[in-house]
Amino acid sequence: MEVKNCKECGRLFNWMNGPKICPACVKKVEDKFQEVKEYVRNNKGASLEQISEDNDVAIKQIKQWVREERLVFAEDSMVGIDCELCGKMIRTGKYCNECKDKVQNNLATGIKQKPKVEPKKPVKDNPRMRFLDK
Ligand SMILES: [Zn+2]
Ligand SMILES: [Zn+2]
């Protein structure tokens, strides 16, 4: 456990993992999320800009919720975010259905191939492991 400054309010708090935001600010974001969720449900036609303005929340934050699949737009709504691979409009998650399939296939083959590809180096010389450590 470490003591860190909250990125939002600057207060010191005991940080373990995840975003460097204190519990009070996490709660604030959580309350905001409930507000936005309710708003989206009642305003199906609202654009991202509108949602952002009416709820005083950053578009970036809204998109993050959508990527985390916490916020889902109605099938017939005009709002969406871009598929991270092909840029097609999607309503939730990171990828459109086609790209999701592709990613899942890649993942499956990746796992199968892994023993062959894995270099036989000591862990500390593996740059990838160092990167993960950060
Ligand atoms: Zn805070
Ligand atoms: Zn896609």
Residue 77 has pLDDT above 80, yes or no: no
| Closest ligand relative to 29 C-alpha | 1
Sign of CA dihedral 53, 55, 60, 63: negative
Neighbours of ion ligand 1 (CB under 5 A): 6, 8-9, 22, 25
Distances in Å between the alpha carbon of 63 and those of 1, 13, 28, 31, 127? Answer: 30, 27, 17, 16, 32
The pLDDT value given to residue 14: 94
Residue 30 DSSP code:
H
The pLDDT value given to residue 128: 56
pLDDT in tens, 86-123: 999 998 899 999 999 999 888 887 766 555 555 565 55
Cα of 15 from ligand 1 centre, angstroms: 11
Query: 129 pLDDT band (50/70/90 cuts)?
Result: low
What are the domain boundaries of the chain? 2-95, 96-134
The pLDDT value given to residue 39: 95
Query: 124 pLDDT band (50/70/90 cuts)?
Result: low
Alpha-carbon gap, residue 33 to 55, rounded angstroms: 10
Mean of pLDDT over the chain: 85
| Closest ligand relative to 82 C-alpha | 2
Cα of 13 from ligand 1 centre, angstroms: 8
Cα of 33 from ligand 1 centre, angstroms: 16
Cα of 34 from ligand 1 centre, angstroms: 19
